[in-house]
Amino acid sequence: MSGLLPTRTVNKVWGRQELPAPFENTTGEPVGEIWFEPPQELDQLLVKYLFTSEKLSVQCHPSDAQAPEGGSGKEECWYVLHAEPGATLAIGLEREVSPEELRAAALDGSIEQLLTWHEVKAGDFFYLPAGTIHAIGPGLSLIEVQQNSDITYRLYDYGRPRDLHLDAAMEVAVRAPYDPKYTRHIPADGNAVLVSGPHFRLDRIAGQPSANHVESIAGRALVIPLSGEYSVAGKVVQPGECAWCEMLDDVAWPEDGMALVAA
């Protein structure tokens, strides 16, 4: 049956002691991520909130074909909720490089200068195909929707005492600039299809969607309110929560609401 998803709070060295509303940090440690535990019916999708006060590691992920046997790849996307002035995301490289140059840059830290840093603001959206080299900078709150996989290959971590995975990363990393077709700014009003790919679909819906739009999102879905109070199969769902439903006919859409819908 449809219902609210339980959350998991994940402490990270790069997280925040103080979280934006409606979240509260009761752990005493910096919180970097809040996960919504996926239901069995949609266990191939994972939704997270991320909150940053420091740079995250430089990393990449394999595709389904490149993942270790028994695992899945990881394609993901980011919807920026809030960005402090000058906040950036690193996605892709400034130029194409050889495997030898990338490995050397990861070892000596100059990979930071190889990355393309995108200054961002609320409403910016980025899709990251498997293999994309990326890092998230400080001063950001964003929602990440991804394939439900924890396979991460870390290339650089600013001297933090965590393992790197250079051999695995070299096998899958795209050593080239990021294709701008994967990014866009989402207007404050209206509905938009953000992702329509082989792994998941993601929509941003503001107010009432048309019947055709609802019909185009077939089957089970996750509803992630950004503003307004939603009802999913009779259950109230508010910003900071996530619910799943068998079909979008079970959702009551508030006129003043805005939500992400993942399917």
End-to-end CA separation in angstroms for the chain = 16
3-state secondary structure of 4: strand
Q: Which residue is catalytic, options 16, 103, 154, 204?
A: 154
Q: Biggest alpha carbon distance in the chain?
A: 57
- Tokens linked to 230: 């939603």
Known catalytic membership, residue 8: no
Contacts 24+ apart (CB under 8 A), 191-197: 194/77, 194/79, 194/125, 194/127, 194/260, 195/77, 195/127, 195/145, 197/75, 197/127
- Tokens linked to 99: 């495997």
User: Which H helix or E strand runs over 130?
Assistant: none
Which residue in 137, 182, 170 sits closest to 62, CA to CA?
Answer: 170
- Catalytic residue numbers read 154
